Amino acid sequence: MKLSDYVAYFFASIGIRHAFVVSGGASLHLIHSVEKTQGITHICCHHEQAAAMAADGYFRVTGRPGLAISSSGPGATNLITGICGCFYDSIPAFFITGQVASFRMAMDSMVRQVGFQETPIVDITRPITKYSVQINEPNQIRYELQKAYFLATNGRPGPVLIDIPDDFQRIEVDINHMPEYVNDSKMLPNAADLDNICSELVSRLNSSNRPVLIAGWGVYLAGCKNQFLTLVNELNIPVALTWGASDLLPTNHPLRVGTFGTHGTRFSNFAVQNADFILSIGSRLDTKATGSPPRTFAREAWRAVNDISLAELNKFSDYGLRIDSLIHADASDFISALIPRVKPSVCDNWKDCIEAWKTRYPVTKEERYRGIFVDPYNLFDILCDYVPDVVHIFSDTGSTIAWLMQAYKPKKGHRVWHDFNNTAMGWALPASIAAALADPSTTTYCIVGDGSLMMNLQEMQTVVSYGLNIKIICLCNNGYSMIQQTQDQWLGGNYIASSPHGGVGIPDFCEVCKAFGVQVSRVSSNRHLPEKLSWLLESNSSSFLLVDIDSRCRVAPQVKFGRPNEDPEPLLDRNLFIKEMITRPIHNC
């Protein structure tokens, strides 16, 4: 069969139903083969970056690798931001790039380029993929596809890229004589001694008074959400969540604390920072979680961290953060080993303390400027009441995701998605497109800031072309408020390159979206917010709600660099702050 036909057949056979594409001379055979292959179809994006981000979103919703196809040269390099998002969030996805014909390659000639739009995309993407390879022999196509699939989905998952020269795409290959990649074992780490580790953990937990369980995105990646929920019920200790696991427990769960870290809630940070026992599962505990310097993180606690990556575990000593138990194991294996050994913890006084912090420091009552338009914290505080019981919520970066993670109250059927580690502006709209295509029975919300929407505004046409019922909420503050907050802290409030005065121009999105053929509405006050959110919920086609936000609204609380997580801005009165702390405050607090 034709090689490009085999490529399309392979992807259909592993359950991929949509290929996100932008056509080009070096990718046409691949795209045509996709379209004529049963079980898979092509979706035309208007920028390769968006195609890559849609492939990312596809996995998050379906649990199957996403697929993006581009041409050579700029088509291939435009994928890079989306590939990075997959790599840093451990998302398995296939990126297939067309390449110039094999006889037009520069190879080792020291010539920069021979074929038109020739680019060494394999070398460029090798540091941001689990596997990047160019097909140099047509009969190797099955072997390389199978190998890439194995590497993408086993161990710590991630993206893979296969570069296929144009002339090879057209070659007839004999599928009966193509070598196969065979590996029957999972790429799991050399498991730690879980028996001894679990015994020590249980002993430490039983002697603690203020335990906290931390959960991260890795719980989802390991496919062990139900196991984790069982562990939570067995441990009966408070649970703090990273952004990647913010929806793991519904808001009304009695053990849910909330999201913590530099952009977490004040009460969640009080809980984590005052703990005397920390067990982290499925979180790499980056500096957004630990604060800076990392050694200030939960500094009086006995700390245990589980991760599938040995490198992630070994980094802590380099950052001056002592971890008492490094647990190198798949989260599912570790939780399975731990559950039979634990018994419910008795820490009622500690739970009461956390509940008291929640009562005293609700995020909606933090001291902050609320503006003359819609208060973003009010928006996200009530949003859960105006979405379906089962919903996909995709959020872009900047202040939008910080406000959402602090104030939104997820219910049991709510999934909240973000490219948590790369946090690329423009990610949410193409990721929402993938969700609406792959899971049309579930309502999809896309929440973006005006600056982020500009990054992939062209994909509004993709929404319309495919008749997708995506409900878009755009927070419009005429600039980049997260950047402005940094400029407030370090650059005297001079909003260069972050505001209209500083050079950033924002269009009238209502008029733009009308031109695309999208239903449009606008809200400028808290009083009219319920009415407009109801309109959005009840709309039966692609809809766009512009929410006017005062440009002076900021994320609060937020931890300024150099302060420990328990002490975010706006700073509490020093006497009150010291009174709240159980752990000894750092001297500069």
Q: What is the pLDDT of residues 203-222, one digit of tens each?
A: 999 999 999 999 999 999 99
Domains and CATH numbers, the chain: 3-177 (3.40.50.970), 194-363 (3.40.50.1220), 368-548 (3.40.50.970)
Q: Which of 167, 98, 88, 82 is nearest to 134 (CA)?
A: 98
Which parts of 207-347 fold into alpha helices (H)? 218-221, 225-235, 266-273, 287-290, 310-318, 331-338
Distance of CA 450 to the CA centre of its chain: 19
Q: Is the pLDDT of residue 377 over 70?
A: yes
For 331, counting Cβ atoms within 10 Å of its Cβ (0-12 exposed, 13-18 middle, 19+ buried), the class is buried
- Up-side HSE of residue 154: CA atoms within 13 Å toward CB? 14
Report the candidate in 337, 448, 321 with the shortest Cα–Cα distance to residue 397: 448
| Cβ contacts of 508 within 8 Å, gap of 6 or more | none
Cross-sheet strand order for the sheet of 277-281: 256-259, 239-241, 211-215, 277-281, 302-307, 325-328
Q: Which two tokens stand for residue 127?
A: 């540091």
The pLDDT tens digits for 5-27 are 999 999 999 999 999 999 999 99
Given a cut of 80, whether residue 187 has pLDDT beyond it is no
Instruction: With CA atoms as reference, report the closest residue to 420 among 431, 409, 408, 410.
Output: 431
Q: Using an 8 Å Cβ cutoff, are 498 and 551 in contact?
A: no
Give CA–CA dist 161/183, Å, rounded.
19
The residue type found at 520 is V
Cβ distance 80 to 66 under 8 Å?
Answer: no
Q: Kindly report the CA angle at 403 between 391 and 525, in degrees rounded to 5?
A: 90
Q: 568 near 259, Cβ under 8 Å?
A: no
Residues 6+ apart with CB under 8 A from 267: 257, 258, 354, 357, 358, 360, 361, 362
State how far the Cα of 589 lies from the Cα of 585, in Å rounded to an integer.
7
* 164-173, 180-189, 481-490, 544-553, range with the lowest pLDDT: 180-189
Q: What type of residue sits at position 236? A: N
Res. 193 pLDDT band, cuts 50 70 90: confident
pLDDT of residue 115: 87
> What mean pLDDT is predicted for residues 324-334?
95
The two three-digit tokens of residue 182, written as one number: 């065979």
Strands 390-395 and 443-449: parallel
Q: How far apart are the first and last CA of the chain?
A: 69
74-121 tens-digit pLDDT: 999 999 999 999 999 999 999 999 999 999 988 888 899 988 999 999
Taking the C-alpha atoms of residue 177 and residue 137, their distance in angstroms, rounded to an integer, is: 13
Average of per-residue pLDDT values in the chain = 96
Instruction: For residue 18, give every residue at least 6 positions away whose Cβ sits within 8 Å of its Cβ, in sequence order, or none.
Output: 40, 41, 42, 43, 58, 67, 434, 437, 438
Residue pair 388/410 in contact (Cβ under 8 Å)? The answer is no
Distance CA 306, CA 331 (A): 7
Tokens, residue 352: 């009461």
- Contact between 532 and 476 under an 8 Å Cβ cutoff? The reply is no
pLDDT tens digits along 120-162: 999 999 999 999 999 999 999 999 999 999 999 999 999 999 9
Please report the pLDDT score of residue 349 as a whole number: 97
For 511-526, write each residue's pLDDT tens digit.
Answer: 999 999 999 999 999 9
